[in-house]
Structure 1
Amino acid sequence: MPVWKLAAAFVAVAVLLVGCGRDDPEAALLAAVESLQESIENKDTSGLMDLIHDEFSANRELDRDWARRTAALMFLSHRNVGVIALNRRSWLDPTYPDKGYSEAQVALTGAEGWLPQRLGHYDVRLEWWLTDGDWKLARLDWE
């Protein structure tokens, strides 16, 4: 499983930000997206894993441990990771207020220096669950 798929999905959520306060669930969801982006850009595996739900699932077959290993491999393999997001959006589930979603088209680059050595393009969908007052990434799907 390519490291880029996980990274693209995480980053897609991360770049879905708009400036908001944390007083409402949607603003808190957007803040979680921002934290996800910062963790990826800073290559912070611990911070990234803090945002991933214990019952995380990617493409209905990969688990939280896979996410940790894949992120660590990506962070070790590339000194710089760049993200370009197109057609991005986030929203709360109108029926279940403890669920939120994010979608985006993402181009993800990896490099040892300034020039990208690797490029991937993905359509990603993320599902967030509100757990103990914090949004956690629970489901990740990509094409």
Structure 2
Amino acid sequence: MAGWLMLLFMGTSLLLGACSKDDPQARLEATVRQLQESIEAKDAGAVMDLVDTRFRMQGDLDAEQARKTMMAIFYRYANIKVFAVGHQTRIDPASKLTGFTEAQVLVTGAQGLIPERASPYTVRIEWRLVDDDWKLYDLKWE
């Protein structure tokens, strides 16, 4: 279950500026904000709308498994809070269809689900641009 929480972490990793329809970077940042808002609202459907159908987390969890895990976490743990202590988002200059986010995140209020940890998690996200929408494609953390 901690695996799906890393997706939740990613959703709160950015609190960024305004979005321009013509600026892919701003659209990517807006997508991350949208993900954060959906997670805070515990709206699993809205979260899953942002996940690519080929999504992988830590190399072995697919989108459907992630959705089921997220639903269980939303149901059982009402007080999970995630704080970004640093982040960077960029679009791959070689492929304007791929974006990356790296964030340092801390978790509190998980009612024992997350191990106590003084240092933040490093979360690495790969996004894909699909039909003008950024979709979460790959998620890894350490």
Match of 2:84 in 1: 85
**Same amino acid, percent of matched pairs:** 39
CA RMSD of aligned residues (A): 1.7
1:74-116 CA deviation, whole Å, 9 max, x = no partner?
10111122111122111100100011010111112235xxxx6
Which residue identity lines up with residue 100 of structure 1 in the other structure? Answer: G
Q: Number of residue pairs matched?
A: 137
CA contact (8 A) 1:22 1:28 kept: yes
Match of 1:28 in 2: 27
Which residue identity lines up with residue 80 of structure 1 in the other structure? Answer: N
Match of 2:16 in 1: 18
Could you tell me how far apart the structure 1 residues matched to 2:109 and 2:72 are? 12
CA contact (8 A) 1:5 1:122 kept: no
CA contact (8 A) 1:9 1:142 kept: no
* TM superposition score normalised by structure 2: 0.87
> Mean Cα displacement is larger for which, 119-128 or 133-142?
119-128
Could you tell me how far apart the structure 1 residues matched to 2:40 and 2:91 are? 25
Which residue identity lines up with residue 130 of structure 2 in the other structure? Answer: T
Unaligned runs of 5+ in 1: none
DSSP-derived class of the 2:124 partner: strand
* TM superposition score normalised by structure 1: 0.87
DSSP-derived class of the 2:128 partner: strand
Q: Which has the higher strand share?
A: 1
DSSP-derived class of the 1:80 partner: coil
Deviation at 1:48, TM superposition (A): 0.5
Deviation at 1:118, TM superposition (A): 5.0
Deviation at 1:54, TM superposition (A): 0.4
Unaligned runs of 5+ in 2: none
